[in-house]
Amino acid sequence: MVRTFAMLILCMSWAGWAVAVPKADLWEIWQAHDPTSTATVDHSAWQSFLDRHLVPGEDGIVRVDYAVDTPERVRLNDYLTTLQAMDPRALNRAEQLAYWINLYNAMTVELVLRNPSKGSILRMGKGLFSIGPWDDAVLSIAGESLTLNDVEHRILRPIWRDHRIHYAVNCASIGCPNLNPTAYTAANAERLMAQSEADYVMHPRGVSFDDRGRLQLSSIFKWYRQDFAGDKAGLLDYLARQYPELGERLRAYDGRIDYRYDWNLNRAESR
């Protein structure tokens, strides 16, 4: 009974948070970059993890096998330590984009590994009443402590101003766009984000109609609608362009929209 009540409070609190998601608010010190830099970042350790632990499902959802042995855990932590030892401001913009996306995703996986008994990332915050770990200081770069919210909402969103960031960063949940099986690089980021956008919008988690003909959308399109369009009509037009098979139906839709999101952990059965 106590646990049920606690989860009810958690859900009520989360609903309130979802109404007031973080805005894109630039942290100016991270805006610096070196357009002349030819330095590259080695993401091979992250790619190795992805190769071994991502499990594509027949339902179109990519899950993660979080059964990670000690040597692999060490390699993941070494990768995170290496990224944090860099000053990304010395990189060019393309390298920075890949750096921040991979850092966010690898850190999220590491947070799940720290909480093996939890069934949702919403229960992985440090504080007693924390909803998720996004406001916890989990990174240290160039003498600054950073949270995952800092990376997404104070760096990635305001600097790149690209709605596809929402398809690139992964929150370890079933409702989230898939964790990409390919590590981001300066050379492939544009292609990967475009493919992730198409994959998510055209999956039932992103856009679908129920048996009554009511439109169901991922809550991402509610929480961050301003990143996709200025109003409901603009959002539907955006989705229609991404999902041509439903284009006419989406543009003509004038009913209620049901927003939904599955916060269950994207855990695969261990192989």
Domain-embedded: residue 253: no
Q: Which residues pair with 265 in a beta bridge?
A: 173
Domain-embedded: residue 81: yes
Enter the DSSP assignment of 90.
Answer: G
Select the more confidently predicted residue: 188 or 16: 188
Give the integer Cα–Cα distance in Å for 217 and 204.
8
Which stretches does DSSP call E strand in the chain? 54-56, 62-64, 137-141, 144-147, 207-209, 215-218, 257-260
The proportion of the chain whose per-residue pLDDT surpasses 90, expressed as a percent, equals 90
Q: How many CA atoms lie within 13 A of 176 on its CB side?
A: 24
Q: What is the pLDDT of residues 205-219, one digit of tens each?
A: 999 999 999 999 999
The per-residue pLDDT for 107 is 98
Domain-embedded: residue 69: yes
The structure tokens listed for 205 are 């988690």
Q: What is the pLDDT of residues 44-78, one digit of tens each?
A: 999 999 999 999 999 999 999 999 999 999 999 99
Query: Domain range holding 148?
Result: 31-188
Domain-embedded: residue 43: yes
Domain-embedded: residue 254: no
State in Å, rounded, how far the first CA of the chain is from the last one.
34
Please state, as a whole number, how many other Cβ atoms lie within 10 Å of the Cβ of residue 21: 13
How does strand 215-218 pair with strand 257-260?
Answer: parallel
Give the integer Cα–Cα distance in Å for 267 and 95.
30
Amino acid (1-letter code) at residue 123:
R
- Number of structural domains in the chain: 1
The structure tokens listed for 122 are 């919403």
Q: Give the chain's mean pLDDT.
A: 93
- Calculate the CA 143 to chain-centre distance: 25
Residue 116 has pLDDT above 80, yes or no: yes
Domain-embedded: residue 22: no
